[in-house]
Amino acid sequence: MSGDKFTGGPEEMVLPQCNHCRHRAADARTCAAFPGGIPDAIELNRHDHRKPFPGDNGIRFEPKGSVAVHERWFARNAAIAIRMEDGRQES
């Protein structure tokens, strides 16, 4: 994310969806879907990994805990990511 600026408050903080996925490896840079490294599009929430992504070997996001909690997380973070993308396009 070099060059990206975060200008929002703590409520606008976007954590990677991978943080909530049961497939993430302990090293935090790989997972069952991407043993060679998690693509930036997923790590930076530019792609909702509940949907297929090239090279994911058919393995998708699966929550570590409550599905309802994760559905709210995806809804909230998708809105924030869209606002961040819109802001980048203007600069």
Q: Helix (H, G, I), strand (E, B), or coil: what is residue 24?
A: strand
Give dist(CA 6, CA 72) in Å, integer.
Answer: 22
Structure token pair of residue 62: 């699966």
Could you tell me the pLDDT band of residue 11, with boundaries at 50, 70 and 90?
Answer: low
- The pLDDT tens digits for 19-29 are 889 999 988 78
pTM above 0.95, yes or no: no
Contact assessment for residue 50 and residue 42, using Cβ atoms and an 8 Å cutoff:
no
